[in-house]
Amino acid sequence: MSSHAWEKKPVLLLILATVTILVGTIFTMVLPFAWVNTEHDRIETVSPYSPLEQAGRDLYIREGCNNCHTQTVRPLVAEVLRYGDYSKSGEFIYDRPHLWGSRRTGPDLARLGGKYPDEWHYQHMVAPTSMIPKSNMPAYGFLNDNLIDPDAVKKAMDVLGFPYSSNDIAQLEGKTEMDAMVAYLQKLGTGIPWRKAAEVEIIGELVNPFPKEPTAIAAGELLYAENCAACHGEELEGQIGPELDQDVYSDDELFELIYVGVTDAGMPSFASLGSTKVWQIVNFINYRETP
């Protein structure tokens, strides 16, 4: 049959085209959605959101946080080094809707939970630039003024089919929207035990390359102000983090704390700064001039 013959049978051509499109749609869209969130994708350690966390998630959506922050780490070396282990499909089985996002006006939040202590998040939400000086994130201090509605949260949990107890709902009394937001942020990425496996390991003996060197101390002072002052105070007097007195840690101990981080205490690793800059911070903390 010549190609011109098809043109004389528009109904048959339309039917064949429709069938082709439907088959393609089934294989590229319908079946993948059916396969995702099955028992094969489930991760045993991933749990549903608690009522307070779910309330925070709803607030996160209400305030449009997903317009600036993604929640998915792609399996690329640069992304894994910056944000942590790449995202797995099973991590999102309780996300309705998912908040993967596509824009990173702000950093990705898929691995945020446990990176900082609660106090850091409360302060950051109230005054973002107090914790990250170059941040362009708006302030959300008003969340402290609004109380959570336990009945509304209960209805949301029922609709989603998430487990909860009457005590869980009762504990929402007196909780603010800020409490809920922080609880949600601290949940992100904690469904899989990736952080322990991703800990930075230091190999070899640590030797301060420029002990008490004035230029290193001056450089360390600037780096401290940019990366450490928000938690430990501008004068190292301690705030969210502890006071940093001189002679408390040896040079190598302090280097390891900064470079590796303290996962259980909510202090992130600063290995991304590189060893030279970390040593400069060490020199500032341990050898700065004190009044």
Whether the CB-CB separation of 59 and 143 falls below 8 Å is answered with: yes
Can you tell me whether residue 277 is helix, strand or coil?
Answer: helix
Helix 275-287 / helix 251-260 crossing angle, nearest 10 deg: 130
Does 132 reside within a domain? yes
Backbone angles phi, psi at 147, to 5 degrees: -90, 150
- Domain, as residue range, for 224: 214-287
CA 224, chain centre distance (Å): 23
Residues 267 and 163 in one domain: no
Residues 73 and 141 in one domain: yes
Q: pTM here?
A: 0.82
Q: What is the pLDDT along the chain (291 residues), one digit of tens a residue?
A: 555 666 678 888 888 889 999 998 888 877 776 666 555 667 889 999 999 999 999 999 999 999 999 999 999 988 888 888 899 988 998 998 999 998 899 999 999 999 999 999 999 999 999 999 889 999 999 999 999 999 999 999 999 999 999 999 999 999 999 999 999 999 999 999 887 766 667 777 889 999 999 999 999 999 999 999 999 999 999 989 999 988 889 999 999 999 988 877 788 889 889 999 999 999 999 999 987
First to last CA, the chain: 96
For residues 249 and 17, what is the distance between their CA atoms, to the nearest angstrom? 73
Domain boundary among 197, 226, 249: 197
Whether the CB-CB separation of 244 and 285 falls below 8 Å is answered with: yes
Residues 79 and 190 in one domain: yes
Of 206, 215, 231, 25, nearest to 116 (Cα)?
A: 231
Whether the CB-CB separation of 267 and 261 falls below 8 Å is answered with: yes
Can you tell me whether residue 28 is helix, strand or coil?
Answer: helix
Residues 91 and 177 in one domain: yes
CATH number at residue 108: 1.10.760.10
